[in-house]
Amino acid sequence: MLLQKLCFKYPALRFSHKVEKTLSRLFSVSYTSSMEDTLLKDYDDQQVQLMKEPCILVNDHDEVIGTASKKSCHLLSNINNGMLHRAFSVFLFSSKNELLLQQRSDAKITFPGLFTNTCCSHPLNVDLEMEEKNAMGVKRAAQRKLFHELGITPEQIPLDTFKYLTRIRYKAVNIPDDKKFGENEIDYVLIICKDVDLSINTNEVKSIQYVTKEELKELIKSCEMGNVVLTPWFKLICEHFLFQWWDNLDNLKKLEDHKNIHDFTDKV
């Protein structure tokens, strides 16, 4: 299994025996059964496997109400019936105040090839990633995915380096629109200010680039002209929050908003 192989190869990922045992059980569905799912039969095998991840279902107030597979959470048929899940978006800044962007791999089932922030994914329905105090569960999930996608080891980004800013809610259809998948998320925004070593997982990430504020603004202009495409959540965060945060990286505490969920479901 993918996660077990990662834990064996990279001991730093072994958070605890309990977590490994739980995740092993959750990822125990056979490879053969995934290929029998006709909806996903034409997609990349590794990405199909990841669609079995157990995401966290929430209500409008971000209260946990259950769990469902990543595939189920992203099916438009379920989204149109109100299925809402928890997610996160990480923005990593270097000591030069440059933001690390990624271009999503073409193998991704949702939003393939699009440009986005450093890392975007979901906390899983396991005890350590469901801990809500100080968003610790979300931070653990982000630490896990930064390693999976970008090879940033947990030692480089201890949990106390993650700054939880706020939450946004949005809804979007897949790009390109396949009439199958989309997003309906409450998204926790996390910021890290740290120089890191990278080792890219090409099944997840097509390219990376550190950008200045001015370079990102040019990228946004290119998006408006139709030359590049940004993920909908990244575009929303850029339009409403990012540049103010960027100007206050040394004092983000004053910009924290953990009370409100900023609703942009009608803005995409």
Give residue-wise pLDDT tens across range 52-68: 999 999 999 999 999 99
pLDDT digits (tens, 9 = 90+) for 149-203: 999 999 999 999 999 999 999 999 999 999 999 999 999 999 999 999 999 999 9
Catalytically active residues, by annotation: 120, 185
CB-CB contact of 135 with 165 (8 Å) = no
Which residue in 42, 18, 16, 26 sits closest to 178, CA to CA? Answer: 42
pLDDT above 60 for 2: no
Which residue in 130, 137, 255 sits closest to 191, CA to CA? Answer: 255
Q: What is the pTM of this model?
A: 0.86
pLDDT above 60 for 244: yes
pLDDT digits (tens, 9 = 90+) for 122-160: 999 999 999 999 999 999 999 999 999 999 999 999 999
